[in-house]
Amino acid sequence: MTGVPYWRLSGFYFFYFAFVGAMAPYWGLYLHSLAFNPWQIGVLMSLLQVMRIFAPNIWGHIADRTGRRVGIVRLAALICLIAFLGVFWATSFWALFLVMSFISFFWSASLPLVEVTTLSHLGERTDRYGRIRLWGSVGFILVVTGLGAALDRYPVQILLWVILALLVGLAFTARVIPEATLAPHGPDHTPMGQVLRRPEVIALIAAAILMAAAHGPYYTFFTIHLVESGYSKTLAGWLWALGVVCEIGVFLVMPRVFRRVRPETVMLVTLFAAALRFLLIGWRADDLPVLLFAQLLHALTFGAYHASAMALVHRHFVGKYQARGQALYNSLAFGVGGSLGSLYAGAAWDVLGSAWTFTLASTFAVVAALWFAVQGRRE
């Protein structure tokens, strides 16, 4: 990609989602090893999302005012690395609550600002976003499969050292990302409040919140669900990786898809696919072929969904509102929706059981699809 700092941006995505590949599947196992109950695990896992409710908006506002988006990313990555050192001594619930809150506040600053930077570097070629973002998926796969095999052989405490190394990589790659110039905006730029009142924007954000909530049981308890269903941690890691491999393939083909299909149509398909996927995971986890098919659907429920959501956010929030638009999307979708997902998963897991908890997840996805079908597809 001529003129685009491809490898520097790709490197950041690699380490950012490698960190997610360590935290989402396995941090619950580490918390379980400390004898926390499902509700406590759900609360602690939700902190990575809770901080995204307000932290990205704070950072996005500062970035829009100062124009120093990458500078904020560099500072946040460094502080996040330093804060993570606290997990080596924090073993009680409230100590971990404090440390993870601090980590999450600074970790949540990075992605919206890097998304804006990447899309700004791409300019009019936003259809090529997936070719950069796919390296995040590669990082996720390498970590989730490697850790799955390692945790079958070694104590779960090795997870702490792996995550520390990944945060070192994240801080380093943040140092080499170049700033990008925002597209100019004229004096007739649509006010932010007016953008937010558009029915299609409301529908997009509502669908994003509900989709993130639908993923709550998956990101909080999927590995525990697999281990309790009789699978090894190694196989659990490969099942996580299978979904992400499909995700990479989707990112590669999305430029051609968007030349023929509107992002709104792609998003609607992915919402219905999520509803089916979580029903299969909840009720047929002991049937490996069905479980494999459910993981193949990750190509739609994450890869195609994320690409279409980014395209729509970039369309609706332009010029000086790009950083705040990305921050708002991340705050509401992953912050509110992700927190809701982790909390209801933690509350329902012991009371309703795994199958009905995943059925709740499917219900969230169905509501998202219906709302978006009615309001989200306007021109």
How far is it, in rounded angstroms, from Cα 110 to Cα 334? Answer: 13
Q: Give the residue extent of every domain in the chain.
A: 6-179+195-375
Question: Does the predicted TM-score (pTM) go above 0.75?
Answer: no
Neighbours of 160 (CB within 10 A): 16
SS3 35: coil
Taking each helix axis as running N to C, give the angle between helix 233-258 and helix 305-316, from 0 to 180 degrees, rounded to the nearest 10: 50
- Residues of the chain where predicted confidence (pLDDT) is lower than 70: 1-3, 123-127, 181-190, 319-320, 323, 377-379
**Judging by beta carbons within 10 Å of its beta carbon (0-12, 13-18, 19+), is residue 16 exposed, middle or buried?**
buried
How far is it, in rounded angstroms, from Cα 280 to Cα 223? Answer: 15
pLDDT score, position 188: 43
Quick: pLDDT tens for 204-263: 999 999 999 999 999 888 988 998 899 998 898 899 889 888 888 887 888 788 888 999
pLDDT score, position 30: 92
The CATH class for the domain spanning 6-179+195-375 reads: mainly alpha
Question: Do residues 294 and 280 touch, judged by C-beta distance below 8 A?
Answer: yes
pLDDT score, position 323: 67
Taking Cα atoms as reference points, which of 291, 268, 284, 292 lies closest to residue 365? 268
Question: What letter would DSSP give residue 376?
Answer: T
How far is it, in rounded angstroms, from Cα 296 to Cα 244? Answer: 9
How far is it, in rounded angstroms, from Cα 253 to Cα 9? Answer: 20
How far is it, in rounded angstroms, from Cα 242 to Cα 49? Answer: 24
> For the residues of 39-102, what is the DSSP string, one character each?
HHHHHHHHHHHHTTTTHHHHHHHHHHHH--HHHHHHHHHHHHHHHHGGGGT--SHHHHHHHHHH
